[in-house]
Amino acid sequence: MRTEELRDAVLTWFGHHARDLAWRRPGTSAWGVLVSEVMAQQTPVARVEPAWREWMERWPTPADLAAAEDADVLRAWGRLGYPRRALRLRACAAAVVERHGGVVPVDEADLLALPGVGAYTAAAVRAFAHGRHAVVLDTNVRRVLARILAGLALPGPAPTREEVRAAHALVPADDAGSARWNVAVMELGALVCTARAPRCEACPVASACRWYAAGRPANAAPRRPQAWTGSDRQARGRLMAVLRELPDDARLGRADLLAVLPGTDVDQPARALASLVADGLVAEHAGVDGTGADADADADADADGTEYALPSRRRQEVAP
């Protein structure tokens, strides 16, 4: 199948099967597209869409989010996972306001200079928000191209030069065609050419797929999925969930907070909490006298008076 035929087949399929996602609708701002891309990193779209709607209603512009409190941002992030993305998104909003007058930039270098924006997000914003030529390589796109072009079940952990070169060769040269191709092949990976249960019978380019022609072989060294149950990530999520439910200005003592994490790894609760504090996702408060020795500390505080809550003040600095 020639390149033009492959493109046409994927684009025709997309025209019939594209999901009606809120951020794809006409009138969505470039900021709305950027927010959707950050939220959708390693998170299913079904969980992202309602969170995105609430987020955009509350903070429809970069200036709105830049003025928000960290604690409010983390509460609104809810169960999307990887909550550091929420604080990076707020820092990104502040940078857009300070460096670009509140307008999401078009230039790739300007996008890459924003906090939390990497190569994929920069390309996606150029393509989907501004309709400009870009090569978007997310997990779905890389999987589709690995199977069609290289006959691999799954791509490697990071794009190779050959992989990037091959992706460039498939992207149409014009802006509009480039943007539509990127979203179409991404959708094909999300709905048909999935990681665990690909529906090759529904694929519009199965006849051109080297992996399908070879009998869908597994990779020689399959990657083991990261376990969630019992992981530090799960422990961090449980601690964040408890702190998100606290009333404004409320704090929780260390013992009470760590008690939500029973398990066989006795060091995990303290380790998970320490990592959240180090990441700036949880604020640590000592006793009134600074040493934790105040006798009037709240009843739920530890003997040393240390208490925890979501960070309450906005960060003034903008990360590079």
**One-letter amino acid identity for 107?**
D
Is 162 known to be catalytic? Answer: no
Concatenated DSSP letters of 256-310:
HHHTT--SS-TTHHHHHHHHHHHTTSSEEE--TTSSS--TT--TTS-TT--EEE-
The dihedrals phi and psi of 186, each to the nearest 5 degrees, come to -65, -40
CA distance linking residue 235 with residue 272, whole number of Å: 6
The dihedrals phi and psi of 292, each to the nearest 5 degrees, come to 85, 15
| Crossing angle for the helix pair 30-39 and 45-58, to the nearest 10 degrees | 140
The DSSP element (H or E) to which 96 belongs, if any, is helix 84-100
Active-site residue, selected from the candidate residues 37, 163, 187, 307? 37
Q: Are 244 and 70 in contact (CB under 8 A)?
A: no
CA distance linking residue 245 with residue 270, whole number of Å: 20
As a residue count, the chain comes to 320
C-alpha triplet 146, 40, 273: angle, nearest 5°: 115
For the annotated catalytic residues, the residue numbers are 37
